[in-house]
Amino acid sequence: MKAAVLTSPQAITQHPLRIADVADPQPKPGHVLLRVRACGVCRTDLHIVEGELPPKHPNMIPGHQIVGEVTGGATKDLPIGTRVGVSWLGGTDGTCPYCRRGEENLCDAISFTGYDVPGGYAQYALARAEFVYRLPDALDDLHAAPLLCAGIIGFRSLRVAGVQQGERVGLFGFGASAHLAIAVLHAWKCDVYVSTRGESHRELATSLGAKWVGGETDQPPVELDRAVTFAPSGDVVVAALASLRKGGVVAINAIHLDRIPQFDYDKLLWGERQLRSVANMTREDARDFLALAARIALKPRVTVFSLDQANEALIAVKNDAIDGAAVIVP
CB 143 within 8 A of CB 300: yes
**Regarding beta strands 132-134 and 83-86, do their DSSP bridges make them parallel or antiparallel, or are they unpaired?**
antiparallel
Q: What are phi and psi of 52, to 5 degrees?
A: -65, -30
In the set 19, 22, 74, 96, which binds Zn ion (CB under 5 A)? 96
CB 146 within 8 A of CB 305: no
User: Contact letters (x/-) for Zn ion, 130-169, by CB under 5 A?
Assistant: -------------------x--------------------
- Least distance between Zn ion and beta carbon 186 (Å): 23
3-class SS of residue 74: coil
In the set 3, 17, 92, 178, which binds Zn ion (CB under 5 A)? 92
> How many amino acids of this chain bind Zn ion (CB under 5 A)?
8
CA-wise closest residue to 190 among 178, 198, 182: 182
d(CA 184, CA 249): 18
User: Contact letters (x/-) for Zn ion, 283-322, by CB under 5 A?
Assistant: ----------------------------------------
Considering the complex, state which of residue 3 and residue 42 has its C-beta at the smaller distance from Zn ion: 42
Considering the complex, state which of residue 65 and residue 217 has its C-beta at the smaller distance from Zn ion: 65
Considering the complex, state which of residue 1 and residue 96 has its C-beta at the smaller distance from Zn ion: 96
- Least distance between Zn ion and beta carbon 278 (Å): 11
Residue type, 219: Q
d(CA 61, CA 126): 12
Considering the complex, state which of residue 3 and residue 149 has its C-beta at the smaller distance from Zn ion: 149
Range 21-25 contact pairs with CB under 8 angstroms and sequence separation of 24 or more: 22/59, 22/61, 22/122, 24/124, 25/1, 25/118, 25/124, 25/125, 25/126
In the set 5, 6, 42, 325, which binds Zn ion (CB under 5 A)? 42
Considering the complex, state which of residue 41 and residue 307 has its C-beta at the smaller distance from Zn ion: 41
Considering the complex, state which of residue 101 and residue 246 has its C-beta at the smaller distance from Zn ion: 101
Range 165-168 contact pairs with CB under 8 angstroms and sequence separation of 24 or more: 165/189, 165/190, 166/190, 167/191, 167/225, 167/226, 168/193, 168/220, 168/222, 168/223, 168/224, 168/225, 168/226
44 near Zn ion, rule: CB under 5 A: yes
- Least distance between Zn ion and beta carbon 314 (Å): 12
Stretch of 29-37, 73-81, 85-93, 217-225 lying at the interface with Zn ion (CB under 5 A) = 85-93
Q: What residue ranges bind Zn ion (CB under 5 A)?
A: 42, 44, 92-93, 96, 99, 107, 149
